Structure 1
Amino acid sequence: MDMSYLNQSLKNLEYISQFEHYLSCREDSDFSSEFLQSFNQLKIDAQLATLNSTNAIMKKVKTAA
């Protein structure tokens, strides 16, 4: 289960990265500051989920070793 959660978290981060690239290429922003703040929070949550998944997997690896 941890591995599938990690894969999903990584996919989320990839999407976030692509969207950030899209935003950086635009000269004007059609997005409200509220939306951008929410998006930034989603980014932080995805990063934390990825780290937590990685830590859980590493604990299992250490236990198995």
Structure 2
Amino acid sequence: MASTADESWLRDAFEEHRRPLHTHCYRLTGNVADADDLVQETFLRGWRSRRSTRAAPRSGPGCTG
């Protein structure tokens, strides 16, 4: 079961990174629906691996190219 801290982390990460990640995915795919799917998959994988990730995720230009 997810803790409130986990849910808060995901919500904060999603709000901060969704737009730049979606823009990057759109540039890669040229398709809004595919970019949506990639963003969803990225956050789902982050959620599933949240317990095994010790360091904070990178942010900024180096994260998306």
**Shorter-chain TM-score above 0.5:** no
Greater gyration radius: 1
TM-score (norm 2): 0.37
Q: What TM-score do the two structures reach when normalised by structure 1? A: 0.37
